[in-house]
């Protein structure tokens, strides 16, 4: 019970901080909505942890809902790293194109 | 036919003057693309009489070759030759590469170290790395040349205009080859002699090339 309370408080802190950042204008509306939904969903999941455990068990997992969430989070993180790597490739390619134009301009 | 020799260079102060002088003696117009060298490559290349293009930031050999190739075509080259700055290629072999292009027998000519026995390759390279490279190129790109990693190549400006390789670093050799095969151009290999000053591409370098090809395919 105490763990749930601490987790809920941490999430409420982050939501409050997000609201403050939005008020100051340091996050865009899109980012604000994304993180608000993220933290609200997390809060709901934590509040219904017992039911989630039952759901996860009924799906055939031998671990708790929290553990499934951690595994999923790791998989998602790896996916994001991969996406960032591809994005970097694209940026590198564009950098080379700019470099060629600048090189030739400097020569002329 | 106007021939321009493109030389990508990175920290090649030791060899660049000699290479340019030999090319000049043979009557070839030369453009050196310096990839942000930290030594005196640029000064020496200019002093030796080459046109020098200086990359503002280091982008790799593939990128330097692309800059040089585009520059050569924009400056009226009918034939572009890719040549190394480290003195490992012989200037007299350029004529061998040019002949099939000038007679209209081929659109692209590659120098091959394996068509005769004049090149003394390090054992590991000859017996393990190169056969593996040939196999990988055969599987991935359906390329059946004897020397798929050769950096000594010549092609017409028509080919150069359409060749759009994206690999900036060492994987450009495989990509150029694959694009040429896919483009349906007439390809010929001629024997060349390579004088090794150092080992060159290592085994781990081969894996790096594969990683670069994989990432570029997905991006």
Does the pLDDT at position B199 exceed 60? no
Which positions 53-92 of A are in contact with B (Cβ < 8 Å)?
Answer: 85-86, 89-90, 92
- Which of B51, B67, B168 is nearest residue A103 as measured by Cβ atoms? B67
Q: Locate tokens 């081969």: which residue?
A: B206
Q: What is the pTM of this model?
A: 0.79
Contact B75, B67 (CB under 8 A): no
What are the CB-based long-range contacts (under 8 Å, 24+) for B195-200?
A: B195/B87, B195/B88, B195/B90, B195/B119, B196/B88, B196/B119, B196/B120, B196/B121, B196/B122, B197/B15, B197/B86, B197/B87, B197/B88, B198/B86, B199/B122, B199/B125, B200/B125
State the pLDDT confidence band at A63, using cuts at 50, 70 and 90. confident
Q: Measured between beta carbons, which residues in chain B are less than 8 angstroms from residue A103?
A: 33, 53-56, 67
What confidence tens digit (pLDDT) does each residue in A31-47 have? 999 999 999 999 998 88
Q: Which domains does chain B have, with CATH numbers?
A: 3-218 (3.90.550.10)
Q: Dihedral sign for Cα B64, B66, B67, B69, please.
A: positive
> Which residue, among B10, B34, B57, would best test binding to A if mutated, counting the most A CBs under 10 Å from its CB?
B57
What confidence tens digit (pLDDT) does each residue in B28-56 have? 999 999 999 999 999 999 999 999 999 99
Q: Could you tell me which chain B residue has the CA closest to the CA of A85?
A: B215
What confidence tens digit (pLDDT) does each residue in B73-102 have? 999 999 999 999 999 999 999 999 999 999
Overall size of chain A counted in residues: 108
Q: In what order do the strands lie in the sheet with B3-9?
A: B51-54, B29-34, B3-9, B79-82, B153-156, B108-112, B187-191
**What is the residue extent of each domain of chain A?**
2-80
Does the pLDDT at position A85 exceed 60? yes
Contact A103 B56 (CB under 8 A): yes
Shortest Cα–Cα distance, B73 to chain A (Å): 13
């Amino acid at each position: 019970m105490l763990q749930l309370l601490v987790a809920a408080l941490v999430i409420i802190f982050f939501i409050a901080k997000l609201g403050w950042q939005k008020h100051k204008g340091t996050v865009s509306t899109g980012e604000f909505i994304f993180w608000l939904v993220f933290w609200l969903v997390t809060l709901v999941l934590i509040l219904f942890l017992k039911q989630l455990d039952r759901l996860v068990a009924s799906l055939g997992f031998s671990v708790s809902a929290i553990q499934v969430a951690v595994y999923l989070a790791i998989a998602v993180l790896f996916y994001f790293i991969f996406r960032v790597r591809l994005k970097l490739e694209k940026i590198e390619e564009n950098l080379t194109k700019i470099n060629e134009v600048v090189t030739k301009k400097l020569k002329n | 036919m106007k021939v321009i020799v493109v030389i990508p260079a990175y920290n090649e102060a030791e060899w660049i003057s000699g290479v340019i002088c030999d090319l000049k003696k043979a009557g070839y117009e030369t453009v050196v693309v310096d990839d942000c060298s930290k030594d005196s490559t640029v000064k020496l290349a200019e002093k030796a009489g080459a046109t020098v293009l200086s990359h503002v930031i280091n982008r790799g050999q593939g990128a330097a070759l692309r800059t040089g190739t585009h520059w050569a075509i924009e400056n009226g080259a009918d034939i572009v030759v890719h040549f190394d700055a480290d003195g490992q290629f012989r200037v007299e072999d350029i004529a061998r590469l040019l002949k099939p292009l000038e007679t209209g027998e081929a659109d692209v000519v590659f120098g091959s170290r394996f068509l005769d026995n004049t090149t003394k390759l390090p054992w590991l390279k000859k017996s393990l790395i190169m056969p593996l490279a040939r196999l990988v190129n055969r599987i991935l790109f359906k390329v059946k040349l004897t020397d798929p990693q050769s950096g000594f190549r010549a092609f017409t400006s028509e080919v150069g205009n359409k060749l759009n390789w994206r690999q900036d670093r060492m994987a450009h050799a495989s990509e150029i080859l694959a694009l040429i095969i896919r483009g349906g151009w007439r390809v010929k290999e001629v024997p060349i002699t390579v004088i090794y000053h150092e080992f060159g591409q290592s085994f781990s370098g081969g894996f790096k090339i594969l990683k670069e090809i994989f990432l570029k395919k997905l991006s």
